[in-house]
Amino acid sequence: MLPAPNRMNNAEYWARRMVILHTALEDRGLEYIHNLETQFDRAAASIERDISVWYQRYADNNAISYAEARKRLTAGELKEFRWSVKEYIRRGQESALDGRWVKELENASARMHISRLDALKLQLQQQAEVLHGGQLDGLDALLRRTYADGFYQTAFEVQRGIGTGWTLHGLNEGTVGKALSRPWTTDGRTFSGRIWANRDALVRSVNTHLTQAIIRGDGARGAIDAVMRDMRSSKSNAARLVMTESAALASAAQKDCFNTLGVERYVIVATLDSITSDVCRDLDGKVFRMPEYAVGVTAPPFHPWCRTCTAPWFEDMAGLGERASRDPATGKTVTDVPKDMKYPEWKEKYVTQETLKKPYAFAIIGVRTSTGAIVQSVAGHFEDSMDKRGFSIAEVIDALEHPLHVTETVIDARGRPSQQFIGVRATVVYNSVDNTAVTGWLTGEKRIKKYGGVSSENTT
C-alpha cells in the first residue's frame, strides 16, 4: 500500500502542517508565561510591601545607615521573626520547596542573634523560593504535555499526510522522563537546573542591590526601585526559559516520532518575516538526515524565542511505502487514514499500550478555566480526594473548563480564598490567588439539577 502521491510529495503541505502544530504548542507556552508573569508581579508587590514596612520600622526620616541596618533584632523582634520563619517552614513543607531552603530556614529559626538586614533578606528570599518552586512544578508539567502532545500530534499528521496508518506503542513515564532529563545545550544544564540558577541569580542580585542602596543612603523608594529592576530582569529570563525549553522539548518529540515512524530526512522550516534571525533564515529549507538531528545544532531551537520547526522530508515514496505497508508489531497490513480523520479518533485506533501515568499536575496544570485563569499547581492531597471520592481527571478538567456554575470567592478562617467550579460530574475547589486546584468531590444530584445539568442517573 503506497501513500497518496499528491500529499506525499508536497513539501509545502508538510511545512504548513508542522508549522500549525508548532504554533499550537507555542501558544500553550505563551499562555503559561502570561500566568507566570502574574505570579512574578504578585511576588514583586509582596517584596515592595516588605521593604516598605522594614523602612517604616527602622528608618529615620526615610533613611537608614548601614550600621543601623546591621543592628541585631531585639528580643521581641526576634520572637516575631521566629514565628514568621516557622510559617515559612510550614508552607515550604506543604509546597515541597527545595529541601536546602527549608533546612536554611530551620537553622535561621534556631539562631540566637540576627541582624535587621539579614532578617529582611531572608524574608525576600522566601518570596523568591516560593516563586521559583512553583515555576519548577508548572514548567515540568508544561514540558511533559508538550513532549507527549508533540509526539502524538506529529505521528497523526504524518500518518494522515501519507494516508496510511499503523499501530504505535504508547509513551511511558520512562520515555518522557528521559526526554526531560536530557540536556540539549553545551553547558549540560536541564530546565530545572536553569530555574534554580535563575533563582540564585535573583537572590544574589537583590541582596547586593538592597545592601548598596542602604550604604548609599537611599530611601525606601530607591531600595525598592533597585530590587524591582532585578525582578523585571528575572521575569524576562523566566519567560525566555519557558519558550526556549518548550521549543526544545517539541523538537525532541518530533525527532523521536520521526525515528519511530521511519522518516529518514527532515527539513528546517523557519517563519520568515522582519524579525527572523539570520541563522534561521540561512537554515530555512535545509534538508538533513535523521542521524544528524541535534537539538540546538541542526534542529531548532537555534536561539532563545526561536520559532523555527522541522518537517518530514520525502524524496520519493518507495522506501516509506514499503515500511508503511505492514504493522511492525503484528506484521498485518495497515489501513488507510482518511484525510478528514480527527486526532482523537486516530489516537484511539492506532496508539496502543500507553503506560503514561499522568501525574495530576501533568494533566491539570495549564488548563484554562472558564474564568480565564490558568491552573498553576495542584494540592498534594488532590490525588487522595480523587481516589476516595471517585471522580476522574477528565471530570475535573470538564468542571474547570465547562462548569455548570462558579461560586463567588470566599475566605476561610485561615485567610485562604477559594471558589467552587461545579461541573456535571465533579466539583473542584480552586484557590484563585495561587491558581491551585485544592480538592474536589462528586457533584450532588440536587446541585446538578439546580444549575441546569443533566443528572447522570438519567443518562444512558
DSSP letters of 132-173?
HHHHHHHHHHHHHHHHHHHHHHHHHHHHHHHTEE--EEPPBH
CA distances from 195 to 95, 128, 261, 455 (A): 17, 11, 34, 46
What's the confidence (pLDDT) of residue 358? 53
What is the residue whose three cell numbers read 507556552?
29
- Grid coordinates of 38: 502574574
Closest Cα to residue 125, out of 260, 231, 278, 268? 231
What's the confidence (pLDDT) of residue 186? 81
**Is the pLDDT score of 307 beyond 90?**
yes
Average pLDDT over residues 99-120: 89
pLDDT band at 17 (very low <50, low <70, confident <90, very high): confident
- Grid coordinates of 315: 524524496
Tell me the per-residue pLDDT of 393-407, one tens digit each, with 9 for 90 and over.
778 888 998 999 999
**Is the pLDDT score of 9 beyond 60?**
no
Average pLDDT over residues 423-444: 89
| Per-residue exposure over 217-251, b if at least 16 CB sit within 10 Å of its own CB, e if not | ebebebbbebbbebbeebbebbbebbbbbbbbbbb
pLDDT band at 391 (very low <50, low <70, confident <90, very high): confident
Bigger pLDDT: 94 vs 1: 94
Q: CB under 8 Å to 395, separation ≥6 — which residues?
A: 423, 425, 426
What is the residue whose three cell numbers read 525549553?
245
Q: CB under 8 Å to 425, separation ≥6 — which residues?
A: 391, 392, 395, 398, 399, 442, 443, 456
Average pLDDT over residues 426-446: 89
What's the confidence (pLDDT) of residue 335? 65
